Structure 1
Amino acid sequence: MKWKEEYEKWLANDALETSLKEKLHAEKDEKVLEDSFYTNMAFGTAGMRGVLGAGTNRMNIYTIRKASEGLARYVAENGEEAKKRGVVIAYDCRHMSTEFAYESARVLGYHGIKSYVFETLRPTPELSFAVRYLNTFSGIVITASHNPAEYNGYKVYGEDGGQMPPHGADAVTRYIDEIADIFAVKVAEKDALLANGLLEVISEKVDTPYLEKVKTVIVNNELVEKQGKDLKIVFTPLHGTGGMLGLKALQSVGFTNVIQVEEQFQPDPNFTTVKSPNPENREAFEVAIDYGEKYDADLLVGTDPDADRLGVVIRNKSGKYDVLSGNQIGALILHYLLKQKQAQNELPKNAAVLKSIVTSDLGTLIAKHFDVEMIDVLTGFKFIAEQIHSFETTGSHTFEFGYEESNGFMVKPFTRDKDAIQALLAICEVTLDSKQAGKTLAEDLEEIYEQFGYFKEDLVSLTMSGKDGSEQIENIMKTFRAELPDSMGGEKIVKVEDYQLSERRFLADGKTEPIEMSKSNVIKCFLDDGSWFCLRPSGTEPKIKFYFSIKGNTEAAGSEKLARVRDGLMKIVEK
């Protein structure tokens, strides 16, 4: 694409939305303009995400209409029944989210496709539930998850409630690519769609059954009903969608001693009190930690803006508050669930847990201890959803828990995406059980490490924006494949998994075996004690991520080894 020609085309369009035209006239930085127009907004298997603004590589009503046109053609391809079942649409608190939701419905409505749109912002997991509950053919959620305020996104879901599987996403992408003129996409009028029933606004119709299902996450109902009020919880939705349903869910099962972080409870598209609304980071919890200190809270919990990720803060041995990693939260919930179900004789023989390939193997050892199978999948909850569907189809396994290191958790499969509302109840129950035993979560975690080994994880994420950044990320992966090291930080590499080549290679003898997964641009290197590091470009952001999972006999040994391996890899990347 010749970006200047596309830029001039937008500038010359008299019908261009006023605010976008004003931004184009005001922007003088040629690099910014080039990045806005040098390519089309990429539509991947989970949809698209990007910076708001004018241009083919920005989130605006025209790129939204184009994506929705592609989805509409895919729905129509599947016949009149698919059109009648329709598409349910949810949206978060971000700039333009409401507008994008209704623009999507207008495009679908033009094709005679029914749309359900939530009356106000709702969590992403409720959208996943709504697809299944309303039996729609597809779903859309307008969100950029935990990205900064200048971002928004568009995620598409399949009829099972999971993010659209590859065959569907490929078809939508093909239809999108066929659209030559981004301004030629037709839309129907909102009022006409409401009048003829092709657009229905929904709220309690889905809220009530979703919250009823969330209650079933609790394993020890008697404990929570009787003692839940004794757990002092500080809760922040970080200005996003999790507040209303999260609070209702907690109170409905017995966690009534909930202190709201008032400054962050109301939706705010600018996320005024935080630099980034990412509950993986301590900075996002600074206000909540002040509340924790003031009220001497047992537990601090926070949901990201679309409430699919949960952050957790607990007191350490010194009495200070520490932010847990997604791996630690997952290990605590998993250990508790399996222990309780085993004690209640409710753990089936074919029980299985699912995690991503970049998630710590601590969970694998916990599952093995309870004689439960751990199955690894590619990064992205759609792959966990696919496995659950396979379990239900074949009867091969019973799903018990699914999680990713990036703070995404699913306890019950009534949703098919990570669900912070479910995880909110689960971690509160774990904490309450610990408190009733006279312990803290920090002590529980220490006991897990003592039993299964001290796992130290880290993530280094490098942002490389624009055309130059994309080329840089591609070059890092290409160079690493071509010049694969045989050691890292003084530790021998014994095995390499290349998911793009679908190949596992053993360095000692050069033998290879196939990896039975979809292809993905990921390289994972294993050390001789099972520790590993991994290189993975993000599928939704201009980033390349480097994951580390290092095991030590002690916490100090694990930390020291982690530092050596991480520094060794980053020196290679810097070159």
Structure 2
Amino acid sequence: MSTPFSFSENSQKNLEQWLGKDFDEITKKRIQHLKDTDPKYLEDCFDSRLEFGTGGLRAVVDVGTNRMNLYTISMTTQGICNYLAELKSDTPKKVVIAYDSRLSSYDFACQTAKVFAANNIHVVIFKELRPLPLLSFACREEACDLAVMITASHNPPEYNGYKVFWSDGAQILSPHDKKILEHSALVNSPQDIKQSSLDDSLITWVDKQLDHKYFQAVSCLSFNDKQNQKEGGKLKIVYTPLHGAGATLIPGLLKQKGFTNLKWVEEQRYPDGNFPTVNSPNPEEDEALELGKKTLESENADILIATDPDSDRLAVVVKHENESIKLDGNESATIMAHYILSSLSEQNSLPNNGTIIKSLVTTSLIELISKDFGVNCLNVLTGFKYIGQKMTQWEKSKEQHFLFGAEESYGYLLGQHIRDKDAVICAALIAEIALSNKLKDRTLVDYLHDLYRKYGLHVNKLYNLKLESGQTGLAQKDQIMEKLRLSPPLALGGKKLLKFYDYQESFCLNKETDEKETLDLPSSNMLRLEFSSDITITVRPSGTEPKLKFYFSLLKKDCSSVKNESLQGHDLIEKLWSALNFFLELKQDGA
């Protein structure tokens, strides 16, 4: 006879509350079913509450305090309302809401609107799905106090999420994120939630008015508009929104910019929250781009552009020497950064205080390029909200002039119209760069290889380590970070550890001189190990899930044969990853 499953004290408390009179019967039936069939999973649903990670709230849609559902959406929204009420203001509060193509996104958006309206907050909500960049733009354009995007970005179909943006259009940072969670934690029952109806006079539905304003705002963001308008039709582009919101804006903007020769990946053209053609609608993953590559080849097109469901991230595949070559996030960011700086330089338009902002884990090649053009390059923590934060600071102080922002996770921003990643304007930017090269019988790959030959070959690879689910995996994650923090490997694969960075404790230790340097960045649970031969490993755990990310990078300063030396570089990184697995006593392959 099997032993009955024992729920933790916290899970038991939450379960009892959700099985009470304030919750609906369908929810209670689902809880009982899981209790009978999968109590371990149910434990994970109720053992904690959702917290804001790098991408806001994000979880599987299901019952429980640790899942996305109408109750957790409502509790979070009520918590936001209570926090906004605490921030006393003479003007009425206003929010804007958008959503992507996920199955529950529209319902979650409507529920969010009803709670805001019931709290006497004016709501602007889109009638149809729209990209995240348009939401950030709308937040600023409509002078809103806050914005909410219902999306789980590139996660599998069973997920959804809730991203919150402050009045500047950037995702919330401390203290706002912590304050919202504190207020949300006090909302434990539907009785604590105010709720109106969708016909409330405080709810305003918008159609395409903000689309047109966005197009107008980015109309000047070209570096060779005459050439684009005259020759843009010569560039054959294949586009896939991966069943998401990008279809509502990107084709229209490309056409406005002169890129009229556009072919769809028809199987992925229309919104569908089931994402039936992919396992996960993630443009980082090759599997998600298979249909796009087939269309690229059958149409004999020049480039494939792919965006994730909320259209803040963008992937590019290039037809080069009869091959379909995918650019990773570092490579696309490098190409865009160099093209922007070289174009401004040729036009004598580089500002004296021009600055590119990138995350610490994004290729250092951008730093070398920036230095070459006399431009600053600022490193910030992972999360585009930190780039948005600097943009807002500089908007007021005029201390620096923002030129471009980039993250290796396929997120980029040209322009100052929003405060987050924007795959919409960057689709037009990459098309302009591709056209400029095509008119010279070159491709984006040729452009990239020229940069490697000039500045050195940079090879980057990301390993995602997924651990066991629930509290066991979270404990494993903490143990791995503790081991690396307290006893990092002094050598790896024959490469000597030179510097050790601990961003949580804000120091850099020179392992050769034993000198410590203070880091001028907000505290973050991230480690960086710099080895001999220009090899760097950065380790960052997920804030909310049992996962870790390992970012490997190496630099080869002299690069004659890009293809061969790139293969050698990837082979070396693979060996270093195996050595690190052995050091950490990991059984998973982590790839």
- TM-score, scaled to structure 2: 0.93
Counterpart residue type for residue 60 of structure 2: V
Name 2:566's counterpart in structure 1. 555
Name 1:531's counterpart in structure 2. 535
Name 2:197's counterpart in structure 1. 190
* CA RMSD across the alignment: 1.6
Counterpart mapping for 1:204-353 below 5 A: 204-317=208-321, 319-353=322-356
Moved more, 250-259 or 537-546: 537-546
> Cα distance 1:467–1:86, how it changes in 2: closer, same or farther (>3 A)?
same
Name 1:572's counterpart in structure 2. 583
In the alignment, structure 1 segments of 5+ residues that lack a partner are: none
Measure, in 1, the Cα distance between the counterparts of 2:265 and 2:576: 39
Name 1:36's counterpart in structure 2. 45
Measure, in 2, the Cα distance between the counterparts of 1:570 and 1:374: 33
Measure, in 2, the Cα distance between the counterparts of 1:212 and 1:474: 48
Name 1:140's counterpart in structure 2. 148
Among 468, 477, 483, which residue is 1:479 paired with?
A: 483
> Does the 8 Å contact 1:239/1:264 carry over to 2?
yes
* Equivalent residue pairs, number: 568
Counterpart residue type for residue 38 of structure 1: D
Name 2:183's counterpart in structure 1. 175
Measure, in 2, the Cα distance between the counterparts of 1:392 and 1:144: 29
Secondary structure of the structure 1 residue equivalent to 2:352: coil
> Does the 8 Å contact 1:550/1:561 carry over to 2?
no
Name 1:98's counterpart in structure 2. 106
Name 2:387's counterpart in structure 1. 384
Name 1:412's counterpart in structure 2. 415
Alpha-carbon shift at residue 557 of structure 1 (Å): 4.0
Measure, in 1, the Cα distance between the counterparts of 2:244 and 2:368: 35
Moved more, 384-393 or 328-337: 384-393
Indicate whether 1:461 and 2:468 are aligned.
Answer: no
Counterpart mapping for 1:153-172 below 5 A: 153-172=161-180
Name 2:561's counterpart in structure 1. none
Measure, in 2, the Cα distance between the counterparts of 1:297 and 1:540: 41
Cα shift readout 1:307-358 (whole Å, capped 9, x = no counterpart) = 00001101244x1112110000001111111111100111111111000001
> Does the 8 Å contact 2:22/2:191 carry over to 1?
no
Alpha-carbon shift at residue 566 of structure 1 (Å): 2.1
Secondary structure of the structure 2 residue equivalent to 1:225: helix
Measure, in 2, the Cα distance between the counterparts of 1:172 and 1:71: 5
Alpha-carbon shift at residue 216 of structure 1 (Å): 2.5
Name 1:428's counterpart in structure 2. 431
Alpha-carbon shift at residue 555 of structure 1 (Å): 2.5
Moved more, 32-41 or 213-222: 213-222
Alpha-carbon shift at residue 240 of structure 1 (Å): 0.5
> Does the 8 Å contact 2:114/2:198 carry over to 1?
no
Cα shift readout 1:413-445 (whole Å, capped 9, x = no counterpart) = 211000100110111111000101111111111
Alpha-carbon shift at residue 46 of structure 1 (Å): 5.0
Q: Percentage identity across aligned positions?
A: 37
> Cα distance 1:45–1:450, how it changes in 2: closer, same or farther (>3 A)?
closer
Cα shift readout 1:436-490 (whole Å, capped 9, x = no counterpart) = 1111111111111111111111011022332211111111101111211112221
> Cα distance 1:325–1:45, how it changes in 2: closer, same or farther (>3 A)?
closer
Counterpart residue type for residue 568 of structure 1: A
Measure, in 1, the Cα distance between the counterparts of 2:163 and 2:412: 18
Counterpart residue type for residue 220 of structure 2: T
In the alignment, structure 2 segments of 5+ residues that lack a partner are: 1-8, 559-564, 587-591
Name 2:6's counterpart in structure 1. none
Measure, in 1, the Cα distance between the counterparts of 2:471 and 2:171: 27
> Does the 8 Å contact 1:351/1:373 carry over to 2?
yes
> Does the 8 Å contact 2:254/2:260 carry over to 1?
yes
Name 1:69's counterpart in structure 2. 78
- TM-score, scaled to structure 1: 0.96
Measure, in 1, the Cα distance between the counterparts of 2:349 and 2:378: 20
Name 1:354's counterpart in structure 2. 357
Indicate whether 1:60 and 2:69 are aligned.
Answer: yes
> Does the 8 Å contact 1:241/1:307 carry over to 2?
yes
Alpha-carbon shift at residue 45 of structure 1 (Å): 6.7
Moved more, 228-237 or 217-226: 217-226
Cα shift readout 1:217-257 (whole Å, capped 9, x = no counterpart) = 22110110111010000000000000120111101111000
Measure, in 1, the Cα distance between the counterparts of 2:229 and 2:158: 42
Moved more, 533-542 or 148-157: 533-542
Name 1:373's counterpart in structure 2. 376
> Does the 8 Å contact 1:490/1:564 carry over to 2?
no
Measure, in 2, the Cα distance between the counterparts of 1:229 and 1:81: 52
Alpha-carbon shift at residue 198 of structure 1 (Å): 1.2
Name 1:544's counterpart in structure 2. 548
Cα shift readout 1:196-232 (whole Å, capped 9, x = no counterpart) = x311111222111112223332211011011101000
> Does the 8 Å contact 1:237/1:305 carry over to 2?
yes
Measure, in 1, the Cα distance between the counterparts of 2:378 and 2:177: 24
Counterpart residue type for residue 75 of structure 1: L
